[in-house]
Each structure stands twice: as C-alpha cells, then as structure tokens.
C-alpha cells in the first residue's frame, strides 16, 4: 500500500499592510521637511504601490526626486500626479517648475495657467507665471496678472514697482523690498555673472579715478554704498584705514563678510544708514551701480555733502537717459530720472550737473561709459566723480 503524497506547502504573498493615508502623508511630509530624502522616497514609493490612485504619494515622490537632482525621473511622476489631481494647483505648479528646469518653458506655461485657473489667488503659481512671462517679454499678458497680485497684496512693494516699470508710471526710487528680493536671489552667482558674463568693471574704474584725484595716497575713510559682495574692497586694498559697506541684502553681505575687505558692514537702506553716520566722517563715498535703483538723488546728495570731509570725493555710476530707449521726452529730461522697463532708473547728464552745483559739489569727471553688457548689448551710462 502506497503512502499518500504529501500535501505541498503553499506560500502565499502576505496581505498588504493597511493604508492609513493621513498617517502616511504626515510621515512623508516630516521626512521631506527634515531633508531625509532617501527615507522620504521609500515611504512615498511604498504609498504609490499600495494606493496607486492616491495622488499625494505621486505628488510627494515627484518633489523628492526633483530635490535629489533626478529631474528626468521626476517628470513622469509629476505628470501622473497632475493627472490624478486635476484640481490641485500645487501639483501643476510643481510640474511647471520642473519643466522650466528642463528647459521646456513652452510646456511650463500652461501648467502655471491651469494652477491659477483652479485657484485664482494661488500666490506661488501667480509668481511663477509672472516670472516666466517677464523673461519672455510678454508685457501685455503680464500686466493684468501683476494687477491681480497687487489686489491680493495691496502693500507689496515688489509688485508695485513691477507694475510701474512695465506701465511707464514714474516713481522716485525702487522699494527696499524689491532691491532685497532681487539681490538675495542673485547673491550666489553675482560675482561670476557680473565679471565673467557682463564684463562689469565699474568698481575698478571708480577706484582708479579716486586714486588719480584723491588728495592723499592712502589712509582713506570710505563709505561703500550698496556694497554688495564687497567687490570695491579689492581695488581699494591697502588704501583705506576704514571701509564701511551698506547693503539691504543680507545674502550679499554674507558674501562681503567672506571676502573680508570691509572694516564694518551694515544691513540697511542706504539713505537711512547715511543719516546715522557722523558729520565729516568719510574722505570718499562710492556708489557703484547703486543710483540705478534711486531716481531722485536729492536726499542722498545732501547726506553725502554732510558726511564728506572738505575736499572729499563722491564717485558713482548711473545709466544714461540720453542713450536709453525709448527716447527721453522733455518731461523726462526736466525730471532728470526715468524708471525704465528694466526696473532701474536712468539719469540725465544736464540734470546731474545741475544737482552737483545745487548740492555744493564740483564736477571733477563725468564721462560716458559702458557699464556692463546685457543680452550681449552694452548698457550705456556715466561714471561720475565730484569733489566737495
């Protein structure tokens, strides 16, 4: 009698762990916010496998992959998240940002447009769409969106300035918030971009003029307005007993501290900090590409006159109104400054010379110069040296 064959042991796959969406979402968000990206990726992948129709897992996974510099992997994931979440503005905004990073702005544009269609007050999507339209020079499409942003935040100085520069509305100076926003974002690449790409030499040129015309060869006390990353400290090295830098951008000042050429650095509005300094406390004041963000110079010039010692020098650069496009009107020339579409101000030569006399300065040199290049074209301006 034969023995019965043994019953084979059947190995079955374990039942999937139950999904608690709220807890798993919270875990992924915590890992992501703490920048534990490999762990966050595993958690997000697990959620997409066990709840494939739940859009959050795909949305999170796309961001996690992007933040690990895996943009090509992130793209189909973000596209799937957008498909699962057609009413989620963040999913479409995330996809738009990624497409811009992949040099596909034509595909990013409809993503941003959909995001703000779904949620008209979605600030991040509005910002990204406005930035893209600005880079593409689409002013007619951009202005209504800026007006929408201003309606949401009526006191936003950055938006106010952007509307003014694109609409031709004239103002006297750029808001502090605009300058801070521009240069905080610019700080990391500022030096390399200016010197290598834009052929910027204004600090070196103004320093050379000071060396040529200063009454003493060294020991200068210098106030560096809008000091940025501290570029002026290099051509003035060894010539200053004191070099004080002022800038609104904290990130630019971090770079200036790393450079180490200034004896003191102040994070403040230029005019505000000038008003804090003592009478006759500087032998020279330098403003390299600073007055391009200040249209009306009267108050700054009064403070410069107060702060300089007798015979002290004021050296600065401006963009030229006479060589700007469109051609300056009679009103522009009379006003003496004009807000350009670049967001910067141009100044009129004759009005500058008039202001020098009104403020008690003697014009030592005031000459046309190419300040830098922009889009491979020269930016026309003037270098100026006045003596108290």
Ordered by where they begin, the domains of the chain are 21-171 (1.25.40.10), 185-387 (3.40.50.150)
Question: What is the β-pairing status of strands 337-339 and 345-347?
Answer: antiparallel
Query: What is the pLDDT, as a whole number, of residue 5?
Result: 44
- Is residue 350 helix, strand or coil? helix
Q: What does pTM read for this prediction?
A: 0.85
Averages of pLDDT over each 10 residues, the chain, 388 residues: 41 50 93 96 96 96 97 98 97 98 97 98 97 92 96 95 94 95 91 86 96 93 97 96 98 97 98 98 98 97 98 98 94 96 96 97 97 91 98
Query: What is the pLDDT, as a whole number, of residue 12?
Result: 40
Q: What are phi and psi of 175, to 5 degrees?
A: -65, 150
What is the 3-state composition of the chain as percent helix, strand, coil, each rounded to the nearest 5?
A: 50, 20, 30
Between the CA of residue 346 and those of 63, 145, 157, 247, 281, what are the distances in Å? 42, 26, 20, 21, 29
Short-list 118, 117, 162, CA closest to 139: 162
Give ∠ CA 369-370-371 in degrees, rounded to 5. Answer: 100
Short-list 70, 67, 73, CA closest to 36: 67
Taking the C-alpha atoms of residue 91 and residue 89, their distance in angstroms, rounded to an integer, is: 5
Query: What is the pLDDT, as a whole number, of residue 19?
Result: 59
- Cβ 342 vs Cβ 331: under 8 Å: no
Query: What is the pLDDT, as a whole number, of residue 36?
Result: 97
Which conformational region is residue 38 in: left (phi greater than 0), alpha (psi within -120 to 50 degrees), or beta?
alpha
In tens, the pLDDT along 85-132 reads 999 999 999 999 999 999 999 999 999 999 999 999 999 999 999 999
Query: What is the pLDDT, as a whole number, of residue 21?
Result: 87
């Amino acid at each position: 009698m034969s023995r019965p064959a043994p019953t084979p042991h059947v190995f079955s796959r374990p039942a999937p762990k139950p999904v608690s969406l709220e807890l798993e979402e919270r875990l992924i968000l915590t890992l992501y916010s703490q920048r534990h990206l490999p762990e966050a990726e595993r958690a997000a992948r697990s959620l997409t496998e066990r709840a494939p129709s739940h859009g959050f897992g795909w949305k999170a996974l796309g961001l996690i992959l992007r933040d690990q510099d895996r943009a090509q992997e992130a793209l189909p994931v973000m596209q799937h998240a957008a498909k699962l979440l057609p009413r989620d503005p963040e999913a479409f905004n995330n996809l738009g940002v990624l497409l811009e990073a992949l040099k596909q702005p034509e595909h990013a544009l409809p993503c941003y447009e959909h995001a703000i269609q779904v949620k008209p007050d979605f600030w991040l999507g509005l910002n990204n769409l406005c930035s893209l339209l600005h880079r593409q020079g689409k002013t007619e499409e951009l202005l209504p969106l800026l007006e929408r942003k201003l309606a949401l935040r009526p006191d936003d100085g950055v938006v106010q300035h952007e509307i003014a520069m694109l609409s031709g509305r004239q103002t006297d100076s750029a808001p502090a918030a605009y300058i801070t926003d521009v240069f905080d974002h610019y700080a990391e690449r500022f030096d390399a971009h200016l010197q290598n790409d834009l052929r910027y030499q204004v600090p070196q040129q103004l320093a050379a003029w000071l060396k040529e015309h200063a009454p003493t060869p060294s020991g200068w006390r210098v106030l560096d307005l809008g000091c940025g990353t501290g570029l002026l400290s290099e051509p003035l090295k060894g010539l200053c007993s004191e070099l004080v830098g002022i800038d609104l951008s904290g990130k630019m000042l971090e770079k200036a501290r790393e450079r180490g050429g200034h004896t003191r650095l102040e994070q403040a509005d230029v005019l505000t900090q000038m008003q804090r300094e003592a009478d006759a406390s500087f032998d020279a004041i330098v403003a390299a590409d600073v007055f391009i963000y200040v249209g009306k110079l009267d108050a700054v010039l009064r403070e410069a006159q107060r702060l300089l010692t007798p015979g002290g020098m004021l050296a600065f650069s401006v963009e030229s109104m006479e060589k700007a496009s469109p051609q300056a009107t009679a009103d522009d020339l009379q006003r003496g400054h004009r807000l350009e579409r670049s967001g910067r101000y141009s100044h009129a030569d004759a009005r500058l010379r008039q202001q020098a006399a009104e403020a008690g300065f003697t014009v030592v040199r005031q000459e046309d110069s190419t300040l830098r290049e922009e889009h491979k074209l020269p930016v026309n301006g003037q270098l100026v040296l006045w003596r108290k």
